[in-house]
């Protein structure tokens, strides 16, 4: 009998202990927006804060369809309140407006967008960086380093290799995921851990990297500021269904500074979001009247003065005020002493001949996997060994080549050389050196800098200064950033 009484008491206590827990779960379920699907509405989901800023309801990730929009309530960095946004699931991540990562289901700390998050700037304006192994698999490192160096030499921001810092960014080059973007990043500094910047292999340029680094520093898209409708009109009737929600307003409150059509954070008027790419997805306005957009809209590969002023104001408000660092980004993963280990003797021989111009090795031998081509990077250039022979690119021409991207030019087909006297037309306009590539030619002069043009146009030569200007405007095709 005593044993039966004890068992009954245990059951009563178990029931009493269980009831509050069941009630708590019910209240939690009722406080979250349950996934709703209709024929006309996207999946609706809301990540709400529990007891602390580190605890969230985890949405049922599996029910979200790849490439489909869902609705999520976010308080984006710097905003005064949460609001609903359309986000798209690609892989393990949720993306806002095409290239802003708002949640990674593999890294829960990525989602810091539901609480008071005014501390999204990087302490002291110093950003620790990890370059993962994919960055060194091709010529990507040169492009990425050039973008990191831009901030170190032109702003108060310092990008440095991570040692043991708890907050940092990871830059990774990934395979094309079919989303149409060239890169993606979270906004600002997230919670403890690494924020991942993604760059799509063979699709990103130096301008793409700078754009995503601006996001990582806390800067939003220009065409998504709260007052944008005064300055642009979005042509939703010419935007593909898969990109309809890439133009949402990101910041609330009063926008800072004048609207900057030429910002590196501005979408192009003509882009891959369009149903008909001969027509714009946005048009410019002046006092409510549609006007022609400046040619720079969405086509800059460097920040404008207003971009830099906005970044400076953001970090000056966070207590960062200093002259540029004026020191390059350096990675311990890149060899910096000698060319030991470079087994392509043809490249070694070429390096010995051009060592004064190239400097020391900055990589080992890289097999590009394209027609069995090899590459070695140096302090001031690179040597390619391809079916076109062993060719060197260096100096300002190399910087131009890296900034515009390999896809634009192809492999070099010659070493840099003086422009022959038979091409004296170019010399009349100040161009003295030339490097030829599979698709285009880059010319350079000490007074005029660099310009690239189609190979046939280089051979034809400029006949008049007006024709030269026309080449500069028409032949140097604008880069369509697919952010």
**Mean pLDDT, the chain, integer:** 79
What is the DSSP-derived secondary structure letter of residue 421? G
Neighbours of 460 (CB within 10 A): 14
Mean of the pLDDT values across residues 322-346?
76
Give me the pLDDT at residue 460, please: 86
Angle, helices 206-217/395-404, rounded to nearest 10 degrees: 70
221 assigned ligand-binding residue:
yes
- 466 pLDDT band, cuts 50/70/90, is low
Q: How far is CA 447 from CA 103, 325, 333, 421, in A?
A: 48, 27, 37, 19
Ranking 9-18, 311-320, 327-336 by mean pLDDT, the lowest is: 9-18
Ranking 155-159, 278-282, 305-309, 322-326 by mean pLDDT, the lowest is: 322-326
Look at residue 1 and tell me whether its pLDDT is greater than 90: no
Look at residue 38 and tell me whether its pLDDT is greater than 50: no
Look at residue 326 and tell me whether its pLDDT is greater than 60: yes
CA 347 to chain centre: 32
Look at residue 449 and tell me whether its pLDDT is greater than 80: yes
pTM assigned to the model:
0.64
Ranking 118-122, 395-399, 428-432 by mean pLDDT, the lowest is: 118-122
Q: Please list the helix, strand and coil fractions of the chain in percent, rounded to the nearest 5, in that order.
A: 30, 25, 45
Higher per-residue pLDDT: 158 or 109: 158
Q: What is the share, in percent, of the chain residues with pLDDT greater than 90?
A: 41
211 assigned ligand-binding residue:
yes
Higher per-residue pLDDT: 369 or 167: 167
- 194 pLDDT band, cuts 50/70/90, is confident
| CB-CB contact of 265 with 219 (8 Å) | yes
User: CA-to-CA distance for 140 and 449, rounded, in angstroms?
Assistant: 24
Q: What is the share, in percent, of the chain residues with pLDDT greater than 70?
A: 77
Closest to 483 (Cα-Cα) out of 233, 171, 208, 178: 208
Give me the pLDDT at residue 63, please: 67
327 assigned ligand-binding residue:
no
User: CA-to-CA distance for 403 and 389, rounded, in angstroms?
Assistant: 23
User: CA-to-CA distance for 410 and 405, rounded, in angstroms?
Assistant: 9
User: CA-to-CA distance for 160 and 224, rounded, in angstroms?
Assistant: 30
Q: Is the dihedral of CA 295, 299, 304, 310 positive or negative?
A: positive
Of the candidates 198, 212, 222, 250, the residue annotated as catalytic is 212
Instruction: Specify whether 438 is catalytic.
Output: no
């Amino acid at each position: 009998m005593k044993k039966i009484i004890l068992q009954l008491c245990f059951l009563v206590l178990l029931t009493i202990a269980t009831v509050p827990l069941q009630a708590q779960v019910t209240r939690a379920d009722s406080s979250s927006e349950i996934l709703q699907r209709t024929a006309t509405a996207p999946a609706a989901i809301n990540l709400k804060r529990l007891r602390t800023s580190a605890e969230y309801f985890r949405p049922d990730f599996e029910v979200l369809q790849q490439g489909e929009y869902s609705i999520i309530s976010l308080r984006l960095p710097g905003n005064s309140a949460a609001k609903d946004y359309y986000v798209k699931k690609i892989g393990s991540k949720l993306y806002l407006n095409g290239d802003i990562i708002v949640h990674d289901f593999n890294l829960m700390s990525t989602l810091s967008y539901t609480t008071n998050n005014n501390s999204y700037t990087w302490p002291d304006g110093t950003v620790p960086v990890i370059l993962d192994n994919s960055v060194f698999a091709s010529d990507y490192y040169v492009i990425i380093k050039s973008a990191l160096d831009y901030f170190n030499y032109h702003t108060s921001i310092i990008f440095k290799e991570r040692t043991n810092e708890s907050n940092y960014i990871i830059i990774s080059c990934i395979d094309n995921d079919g989303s149409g973007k060239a890169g993606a990043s979270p906004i600002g500094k997230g919670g403890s851990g690494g924020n991942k910047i993604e760059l799509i292999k063979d699709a990103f340029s130096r301008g793409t990297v700078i754009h995503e680094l601006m996001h990582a520093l806390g800067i939003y898209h220009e065409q998504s500021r709260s007052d944008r409708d005064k300055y642009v009109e979005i042509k939703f009737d010419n935007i593909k269904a898969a990109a309809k929600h890439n133009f949402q307003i990101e910041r609330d409150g009063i926008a800072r500074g004048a609207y900057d059509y030429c910002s590196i954070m501005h979408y192009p008027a003509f882009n891959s979001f369009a149903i008909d790419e001969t027509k714009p997805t946005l048009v410019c306005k002046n006092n409510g009247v549609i006007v022609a957009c400046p040619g720079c809209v969405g086509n800059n590969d460097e920040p404008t003065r207003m971009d830099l002023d906005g970044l400076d104001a953001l970090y000056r408000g966070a207590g960062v005020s200093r002259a540029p660092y004026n020191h390059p980004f350096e990675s311990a993963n890149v060899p910096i002493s000698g060319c030991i280990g470079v087994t392509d003797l043809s490249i070694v021989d070429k390096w010995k001949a051009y060592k004064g111009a190239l400097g020391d090795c900055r990589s080992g031998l890289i097999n590009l996997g394209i027609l069995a081509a090899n590459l070695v990077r140096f302090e001031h250039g690179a040597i390619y060994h391809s079916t076109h022979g062993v060719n060197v690119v260096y100096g300002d021409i190399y910087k131009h080549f890296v900034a515009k991207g390999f896809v634009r030019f192809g492999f070099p087909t010659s070493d840099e050389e003086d422009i022959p006297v038979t091409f004296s037309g170019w010399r009349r306009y100040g161009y003295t050196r030339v490097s030829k590539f599979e698709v285009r030619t880059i010319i350079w002069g000490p007074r005029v800098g660099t310009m690239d043009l189609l190979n046939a146009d280089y051979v034809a030569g400029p006949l008049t200064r007006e024709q030269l200007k026309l080449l500069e405007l028409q032949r140097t095709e604008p880069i369509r950033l697919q952010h």
